[in-house]
Amino acid sequence: EVQLVESGGGLVQPGGSLRLSCTVSGFNFNSYWMHWVRQGPETGLVWVSRIGSDGGSTVYADSVKGRFTVSRDNAKNTLFLQMDSLRVEDTAVYYCARVSGWYSPFDHWGQGILVTVSS
Amino acid sequence: DIQMTQSPSSLSASIGDRVTITCRASQAIKSWLAWYQQKPGKAPKSLIYSASNLQSGVPSRFSGSGSGTDFTLTISSLQPEDFATYYCQQYNSYPYTFGQGTKLEIK
């Protein structure tokens, strides 16, 4: 069974940092591109970032470029999202999601983890 | 960025009804469109990919159509478990973008 489990969320002050993890099982992690998607209380679903299967190719939404860094450890079946210079508007539930390759939808999602940025 | 516009934003319907949700892209996306179902407190679930292909395990009462800029999701006979929020999403180009959602409620 394919499983994706996020961790590392919580409450952080504006300007702070947080690192999210997504640990996967049930599939060959190093063969899949992975994404982060967030869902804020007022913003709906918003795509955040993508990383290629070997970690060598990354893409970011303009709203997080330069502040967030996506990475992966294929030996540990884990995806990461390093979030720096956090803003109130980054408050959201963050999901990791799997795609099967080029021009593929998100076929499996984690359960989501809440990040709250507030003073 | 490609804007995805869904209509309606909310919809009330009864068990057994046929319902259709539309999604319009601000520019052509070929058939690179997915539909997701989301229930409160849960992650989205993939229903349809490439505009008209059903994900494995999804009931056949769900169907999708369209290409280019105009797409539809149809549920042929609503079941109690279908009351949820539905999102379309384009994956033609980055940034991937979602529609604002259609909340399907029981009448």
B40 touches chain A (CB under 8 A): no
Which chain A residues are Cβ-neighbours of B42 within 8 angstroms?
111
* Cα gap A108→A5, rounded to integer Å: 11
Q: A101 pLDDT exceeds 90?
A: no
Among candidates B49, B94, B98 on the partner chain, residue whose Cβ is nearest the Cβ of A44: B98
* Cα gap A32→A38, rounded to integer Å: 20
Among candidates A47, A95, A107 on the partner chain, residue whose Cβ is nearest the Cβ of B95: A47
Average pLDDT over residues B52-76: 97
CA angle at A13 for the pair A11 and A17, rounded to the nearest 5° = 80
Average pLDDT over residues B78-104: 97
pLDDT 10s digits, A26-77: 999 999 999 999 999 888 999 999 999 999 899 999 999 999 999 999 999 9
Nearest CA in chain A to B35: A105
Return mean pLDDT, chain B. 97
* Cα gap B33→B69, rounded to integer Å: 10
Query: Is-contact B88 B33, C-beta < 8 A?
Result: yes
Taking alpha carbons only, the member of B65, B67, B46 closest to residue B57 is B46
Confidence (pLDDT) at B11: 96
Query: Is-contact B103 B9, C-beta < 8 A?
Result: yes
Residue-level length of chain A: 119
Confidence (pLDDT) at A56: 85
Confidence (pLDDT) at B32: 97
DSSP letters spanning B9-68: SEEEE-TT--EEEEEEESS--TT-EEEEEE-TTS--EEEEETTTEEPTT--TTEEEEEET
A27 touches chain B (CB under 8 A): no
Confidence (pLDDT) at B53: 97
